[in-house]
Every structure is written in structure tokens, then in C-alpha cells.
Amino acid sequence: MRRAPFFRLCNLLRQRELLRDTIHSSIEEQVAMFLLVVGHNFRFRALQPIFRRSTETISRHFGEVLYAIGELRSEMIKPPSTDIHPKIQGNRRFNPYFKDCIGALDGTHVLARVPSTMAPAFRGRKGVTTQNVLATADFDLKFTYILAGWEGSAHDALILTDALERPDGIRVPAGKYYLVDAAYAARPGFLPPYRGCRDHLREYAGGLNPRDKRELFNLRHSSLRVTVERAFGVFKNRFKIVYNKPFHPYKTQVKLVLACCILHNWILQYGNDEFVPLEDGWNPSDDEEDDPDELDQDNRSMVQIRDDLASDMWDNRGSSRV
């Protein structure tokens, strides 16, 4: 975190009385301790020679800062705007086809440390224990919804259903939708690519052109949906605590994911930095595998919307870049 967002965050926490200066430790020092832990996955004892504080003091300040940042959730993780985003409005490949798109949704796995009795439920396809985190992101790479805490073995579609049923869950405005990958079924508010044909950006890296309307739709769909993967890339590059096994209790691990997402959005208010990957040359990951057997049945209305968009793109493909 650069100086400007750091000191403004400290001033905000001071003004809101979410943190207070003590005789021996200022708010700036408390926040710095927290950022070193989440940014580098430092253990508390590793901070002792830096701040010359006991592990008990560092642990206490860490918990206080974690709570204070969590109190900023409602204003830092907000639903996306329903206006057409400039990324879509200013690009003939996306406008008017995706004018009703308000962002992208996906899940990612964050390494978790849990008791051995719980490990089987948290062990995913790669054999390590993780928590499955669902997120939506807008085209500025800011998170607009976060649901953390699910076991690593849980299927993405199940977690999305839970997010929709929660009182504080995802709400999609009428007529709008999120872009999702092929692991999700087509349903009102969520538009996946066609299955069974090329859909990843790297599959066109060799200069191959789409052969039909389905492949053209998938290419442009992937070009927009990669936004949420780039957001996850920034998130994991910036906060090493979610990239390495943490040493905190599991409930704290879940709160840390949310706190890091809040900090991610806070930092992006002050412009991009070295942690933000360039859009050109970004390659989607292969971390997730689609499981058609676990998919719900596609909603006919969303399938029809996808077919109409694909047909319009294919008919007008000569007027814009692929």
C-alpha cells in the first residue's frame, strides 16, 4: 500500500473511532502491523524485532485492526452500477451486445488451515485444504460481493445458490446479468459461455479466428469475464496470507479474506499499481474444472438471450475487431 491510501485509511479509522492511539502504539503502527501480516503472511513473533512489542500486544492490535477494517464492508464492497460501463460502451466488440452486463462472477480457492477432523471436507481436487470464495467484480477490478468460508470441496453452483438465498446475498437488478464461466448454468442474472466449444482467450493466441457464432460469442464473453480472474490475481499477489497457509483459527481466516477484499477496493480508489496485471497478454488460469454432471438445467430465457447475442455478433462481425 502506498503512502496516500495508508495514511487516509488510518485517518478514517481514527475519525470513526474504530481504532485509537495508545500510549505506546499509534494507529499508524497498528495498521502497519496488520498489513505486514496480511501482505507477507508474517507470524507475530517475526514482528517483534521490527516493532519491539510482545506477541500478545501484536496479536491484540491485529484483532482490533481486523475488526475495524471489517466495519468498512458496507461502503467499500458495494453493488455495481447499473449504468453501461465505459469498458463496454466504448468498444464495438462489446457494445451493444453486453450493455446489460454489470460485472463478472467466479470462485477462487484460498489455502486454509483446519483441524484434521475437518480436512476431508476442505480438500479440493488438488489435494490441499482450501476455502472456496465466491466473488463478483466490476470492470474496474473492484469486488462488489464476497462470500467466504465455504469448504474447498463445495461446488461453485452450490455456493452461488447459497449466495442468492442469503438475506444479504447477491441481488441482480432486473434485466441485468453477470458473466460466469461454464461451471455455472444459464439462469436469470447469470450468463455463461457455450459449452463444448473454444472459450478461453489463449485458445485464440495462435491467430485462430472463431469459426461460428458460438465461438465468437465465447471469445468476447471470455474477454470480458477475465476481469474477475484479473481481480483475483491482484488480490493474491498483494496479500500473501491468502496465497500461503495461514496460522490463524479458521473463523479468523474467513474474516481475513473479507478484510483483504476491503483493502483491495480501498487501494484501487487511488489508481492501479504494480500488482494489477495488464489486460493485454493476460492468460486465464486452469485452476477450475467444469463438471457438467453437477450443473443445473439451463434457463430457457437466458439461453435465448445468449443465442440472440451470438447471432447479432456473428452478423455484425465485419464492423468490429474480433
d(CA 131, CA 321): 39
d(CA 131, CA 317): 41
Q: Exposed, middle or buried, 138 (CB in 10 Å: 0-12/13-18/19+)?
A: buried
The owner of cell 468476447 is: 220
Share of the chain above pLDDT 90, in %: 62
Give the mean pLDDT of 315-319. 73
User: pLDDT-based confidence at 320, cuts 50/70/90?
Assistant: low
d(CA 289, CA 304): 25
In the 8-state DSSP scheme, what is residue 266? H
pTM: 0.89
User: pLDDT per residue over 154-182, tens digit each?
Assistant: 988 899 999 999 999 999 999 999 999 98
Cβ-contact 220, 93 below 8 angstroms: yes
- Pure H helices in 112-153: 119-122
- pLDDT at position 195 is 86
d(CA 221, CA 169): 25
- Across 249-272, b (16+ Cβ under 10 Å) vs e yields ebeebbbbbbbbbbbbbbbbeeee
- Cell numbers describing residue 126: 488438488
- pLDDT at position 124 is 78
H-helix or E-strand spanning residue 86: helix 86-89
User: pLDDT per residue over 250-284, tens digit each?
Assistant: 999 999 999 999 999 999 988 766 566 555 555 55
Give the chain's radius of gyration (CA, Å). Answer: 21
d(CA 12, CA 125): 42
Amino acid in the structure at residue 13? L
Counting every residue written for the chain, the total comes to 322
d(CA 83, CA 99): 9
d(CA 10, CA 95): 41
Q: Which residues on neighbouring strands pair with residue 265, listed in sequence order? A: none
- pLDDT at position 149 is 92
Q: 58 Cβ partners below 8 Å, 6+ apart?
A: 33, 44, 47, 48, 51
Amino acid in the structure at residue 72? L
User: pLDDT per residue over 222-254, tens digit each?
Assistant: 889 988 888 998 898 899 998 787 788 999 999
Lowest mean pLDDT among 127-131, 199-203, 209-213: 199-203
User: pLDDT-based confidence at 20, cuts 50/70/90?
Assistant: very high
